[in-house]
Structure 1
Amino acid sequence: MSLIELFILAVGLSMDAFAVSICKGLSLPSLKPRHAAITGLYFGGFQALMPLIGYLLGTQFQQFITNVDHWIAFVLLVFIGVNMIRESRSEPEELNCQFSPAAMLPLAVATSIDALAVGVTFAFLSVDIVPAVSFIGVITFCLSAVGVAIGHRFGARYKSRAELAGGIVLALMGCKILLEHLGLLAF
């Protein structure tokens, strides 16, 4: 996987966290740098951790499913992408302005579940996992921190667009993996 592909994937994965960060920013009466840092650390940390866990799981089962790994990657990425697109069209959920572990941990886990599945596909694609998860974590940290500021400043109008864009990116990455494997697309 090239650096540009990894960057696009990282941005796509971080869109859920970005959208939730915007909502967290909306709920703030006043914005402080620690709000952006806490949000970035939780979301970036979990976006890095979950693909690592998925990768470790995927490497355990890789030999059993090598013949269909491209189909698994395709299905997982398209499923996640379509789900994000669907969520972008639903009613927004209310978020409170708490930044405690009890408030942030469930959000961080919820926004990074898709990254777990991507980690499984990384195992099938033989991606160098440490740089990949580090890159995903840093990109998510940055976008989440910026999302809090954007939410505080501009409001909810970007949340659904961020989820829609992220969903489209993930679905397209899944299609690209399948088309490359089938020999219909060469990069």
Structure 2
Amino acid sequence: MNVDVLIGEILTLSIMAFALGMDAFSVGLGMGMARLRRSQIFHIGVIIGLFHLIMPLGGMMAGQFLSGALGALAGYIGGALLLVLGIQMIAASFSSKEERIVSPSGFGLFIFAVGVSLDSFSVGLSLGLYGTRPILTICLFGLFSMVLTWAGLLLGKQVQAWLGAYSEALGGAILLSFGLKLLLPI
């Protein structure tokens, strides 16, 4: 095993993992504005990290024949989920009720995690074609997405403290804009 090749692969995969994790950071920034406790932030980051382990591994195992069709479909599903979350957060910011359609716990957290990590599934499809080291790949993807999710959620929590009642509407607008970006690539 050539050490230079391994270092190059780790560097390349780290850059890809960072790029995929930035989606989690951005969405976490929006979701962090929704009055979350630190324990929820920890839990959300771990779940997002786990999904960024599972989804690319599933993508690698799915193979070449699904790559083209699922790549576009994953973007549309992720965009739709972010739209729903964004609209729900904006509506909740104007409502006096604390009830949410999708909350960052239970099944809502599952929907959130799937929406954020769908792009890593399609990336896993392509990486499977190139024969990357699966364990190294998924570990880097999971680690980067977990840390970047925590960073986004914690920063969003700070912004929420600064903006007060308007922060949840701003967070919803961020999620809504990312959903639109995925649905209407320009």
TM range (shorter): 0.5 to 0.7
Shift in Å, 1:94: 3.5
1:16 and 2:23 matched: yes
User: Would the aligned equivalents of 1:54 and 1:118 in 2 still touch at CA under 8 Å?
Assistant: yes
User: Of the candidates 139, 143, 149, which is equivalent to residue 144 of structure 1?
Assistant: 149
1:3 and 2:10 matched: yes
1:132 and 2:112 matched: no
Shift in Å, 1:8: 1.6
Extract unaligned runs of 5+ from structure 1: 66-71, 168-187
User: Of the candidates 111, 118, 122, which is equivalent to residue 117 of structure 1?
Assistant: 122
Question: For residue 7 of structure 1, what is the amino acid of its counterpart?
Answer: S
The change in CA–CA distance for 1:56 and 1:134 in structure 2 (over 3 A counts) is: same
Match of 1:69 in 2: none
User: Would the aligned equivalents of 1:25 and 1:152 in 2 still touch at CA under 8 Å?
Assistant: yes
Provide the C-alpha distance between the structure 1 equivalents of 2:130 and 2:70, rounded to a whole number of angstroms: 13
Q: TM-score, normalised by structure 1?
A: 0.63
Question: For residue 140 of structure 1, what is the amino acid of its counterpart?
Answer: S
Shift in Å, 1:40: 0.6
State the SS of the aligned residue for 2:30.
helix
User: Would the aligned equivalents of 1:21 and 1:145 in 2 still touch at CA under 8 Å?
Assistant: yes
User: Would the aligned equivalents of 2:51 and 2:142 in 1 still touch at CA under 8 Å?
Assistant: yes
C-alpha distance after superposition, 1:5-40 (max 9, x if no partner): 211211211222222211221010xx5331221111
Provide the C-alpha distance between the structure 1 equivalents of 2:145 and 2:120, rounded to a whole number of angstroms: 11
User: Would the aligned equivalents of 1:38 and 1:99 in 2 still touch at CA under 8 Å?
Assistant: no
Match of 2:34 in 1: 27
User: Would the aligned equivalents of 2:104 and 2:112 in 1 still touch at CA under 8 Å?
Assistant: no
Overall identity of the aligned pairs, in %: 23
Provide the C-alpha distance between the structure 1 equivalents of 2:13 and 2:88, rounded to a whole number of angstroms: 32
User: Would the aligned equivalents of 1:23 and 1:148 in 2 still touch at CA under 8 Å?
Assistant: yes
Extract unaligned runs of 5+ from structure 2: 1-7, 90-99, 160-166
Provide the C-alpha distance between the structure 2 equivalents of 1:56 and 1:101, rounded to a whole number of angstroms: 27
User: Of the candidates 25, 48, 53, which is equivalent to residue 48 of structure 1?
Assistant: 53
Question: For residue 101 of structure 1, what is the amino acid of its counterpart?
Answer: G
Shift in Å, 1:76: 7.9
Match of 2:105 in 1: 100
Question: For residue 119 of structure 2, what is the amino acid of its counterpart?
Answer: D
Give the length in aligned residue pairs: 149
Question: For residue 147 of structure 1, what is the amino acid of its counterpart?
Answer: G
